[in-house]
Chain A
Amino acid sequence: MHIREPYFSKLFKPAVFALALVPLALLGWGVWQDTLGANPIETVTRSLGEWGLRFLLLTLLVSTLRRATGWVQVLRLRRMLGLFAFFYGTLHLLSYVWLDQFFDWEEIWLDILDRPFMTVGMLAFVLMVPLAATSFQAAIRRLGRNWQRLHRLVYPLTLLGVLHFWWLADSKVRTDMPLVYSVLLALLLGERLYQFARKRGQGRVLSRAGGSSGIA
């Protein structure tokens, strides 16, 4: 699959960008029209968090999709999707700090210290910050090989995001959606492990001939 230029840059990518904003638009519309139920603050906060998680998984899907289909262009969407994950994650945090807690820093601090689901959620967000901050071309060039190392943080932080959702889930028994995201994450990580193991097998052969290999 290949989308010809200028259609990819001028049409397809902007369309994905617009699509990624739809959840936010729908939430805004819901707030305006008062259709988010009796507790709209809860609905907004949770929905933003779930979208952050979905975009993290979509970001991880990119290179898997490339390997599975050979569609190389999709890699050009990865930074945008990753930044949308950060965008929704930031709004999720903002919604909690502002709408939910109304800047009650003592309460927020206690939440993060005492409640494991808050601790891991906050950690996931903190880990996202350096990734978002080094997502532009100059940073990629300057960091060189370290850029790739740094951006492998996406794996543990997505794991923390899923865990955050598991531990929040109502009374440990409402686990349908956390389960869905866990399975998706397991598939995405599993595919990478599989590729890694395969390449290592090949790498052994190659290294005898002086080659090397890596996986992203």
Chain B
Amino acid sequence: MIFIKHPHDLRDHDVTDEALYRQRRQFLKSLGGFALLGAGGIPLLANAAGEDEPTPYEDITTYNNFIELGQGKQAPALRADKLRTSPWTVTVDGECEKPGKLLLEDILKQNPTEERIYRLRCVEGWSMVVPWLGFPLAGLLKRFEPTSKAKYVRFESLYDPEQMPGQKSRAYDWPYVEGLRIDEAMHPLTLMATGLYGKNLPGQCGAPLRLVVPWKYGYKSAKSIVRISFVEELPTTLWMATVPDEYGFYANVNPQVSHPRWSQRKERRIGEFRKRDTQMFNGYAEQVASLYSGMDLQENF
């Protein structure tokens, strides 16, 4: 599903009515009560295969992987208040004609946001549907006039152990670095997100500026970005450096290529009981498969 709305045709009833989700959960809960184990959080009878309902705001904002704010799914939300997102500057440098330092406000002035509802698939085998607010990355990048040497784009997240207590851990080589091939970065689906459900991004979701690459596993979508660099060589990402046999550069969602700890054939959509089949490129094959034609995806995982 790609669901793009432009600001002018976005009315407030389009941005999701949370009360409706709560109602739905209540319904599932009453169904689940008949089963031996569980109701509430484990809707035993819910199995809406194939449907892509936006995941409730509460789930999107309390089940996060953001190691800078802490380990485990709940820690990031609990510590998000430590993150100061204003003022926020982004440095753009490397192989481009017009490098520069920009204030977030100026970026937002130049790049009007729109709502995009994307599936999000985590490498750990769970998924969500997120109504993002953001702007295409390509529009932002083009202003800096990348040169022909710009083969890759490197994204760097904030490094400040005071704001991000997880960075006191020596297990990783900070800062968090991610990267895309330039054609991936320029792809119309690639989004720079600033909000979700019509609100500003909360800290645990990568405020104030995060990448969203819906056909790749979630960890490619760097959060709280402070630096964007055009580079000639393939950038080594934090996960490639930390666990090279588990995390590759491409990280395209691919049910055929399993991770050492997780089969990628299926996924649990948050809020659902039965797993659903994972789709090639997270269901965006039609739009992005051509980027990888002729490539061995088993090799380039």
Contact = CB atoms under 8 A, between A and B. Distances in A.
A and B: real partners?
Answer: yes
Interface of A: 28, 30-42, 44, 99-102, 104, 107, 110-111, 114-115, 117, 167-168, 170-176
B274 to A, nearest CB: 5
Binding site secondary structure of chain B = loop
B29 interface: yes
Given A36-B41, A38-B59, A114-B258, A102 B274 contact: yes
Contacts of B242: 171-173
A157 to B, nearest CB: 21
Nearest to B123: A171
Given A31-B37, A99-B37, A173-B172, A41 B42 contact: yes
Contacts of B29: 34
Given A38-B271, A104-B275, A173-B242, 5 more contacts: A32-B39, A40-B40, A107-B266, A170-B71, A173-B172
B260 interface: yes
A124 B2 CA distance: 45
A104 B265 CA distance: 12
24 contacts: A31-B38, A31-B40, A31-B42, A32-B38, A32-B39, A34-B39, A34-B40, A36-B41, A40-B38, A40-B40, A41-B42, A99-B42, A102-B273, A107-B265, A110-B263, A114-B258, A114-B263, A115-B260, A171-B242, A172-B242, A172-B243, A173-B169, A174-B72, A176-B71
A117 B37 contact: no
Interface string B168-190: 01011000000000000000000
Contacts of B25: 34
Nearest to A110: B263
A166 to B, nearest CB: 12
A100 B126 CA distance: 11
A214 to B, nearest CB: 41
Contacts of B42: 31, 40-41, 44, 99
Give 3 closest A-B pairs by Cβ, nearest first. A40-B41, A34-B40, A38-B63
B38 A38 contact: no
A173 B246 CA distance: 12
Given A37-B74, A38-B62, A111 B263 contact: yes
B263 A37 contact: no
